[in-house]
Amino acid sequence: MSARLARPDEADLLGLAYGLPVLRVTRLALAEDTPVEVNDMVLAADRYELLYRWAAD
């Protein structure tokens, strides 16, 4: 996860003013150690509160 300023195309798609912050979340999903999905999300930073939990192995 990272934060940065929205690119012009992202701002247009998200209905944001240029230069507002976005969150970028990249996720890799595995099934039995085999990659099955890669998800690259760009979220309007003022519209989300993210909470992640990880189980200890």
pLDDT tens for residues 37-55? 999 999 999 998 988 887 7
The number of distinct structural domains making up the chain is: 1
Per-residue model confidence (pLDDT) at position 57: 65
Does residue 18 lie within any of the structural domains? yes
Does residue 36 lie within any of the structural domains? yes
Q: Which of 29, 28, 25, 30 lies closest to 4, judged by CA?
A: 25
Does residue 35 lie within any of the structural domains? yes
Does residue 55 lie within any of the structural domains? no
**Mean of per-residue pLDDT scores for the chain:** 92
Q: Is 40 left (phi over 0), alpha (psi -120 to 50) or beta?
A: beta
Is pLDDT above 70 for 33? yes
Does residue 41 lie within any of the structural domains? yes
What's the predicted TM-score (pTM) here? 0.75
Is pLDDT above 90 for 18? no
Domain residues for 18?
A: 2-47
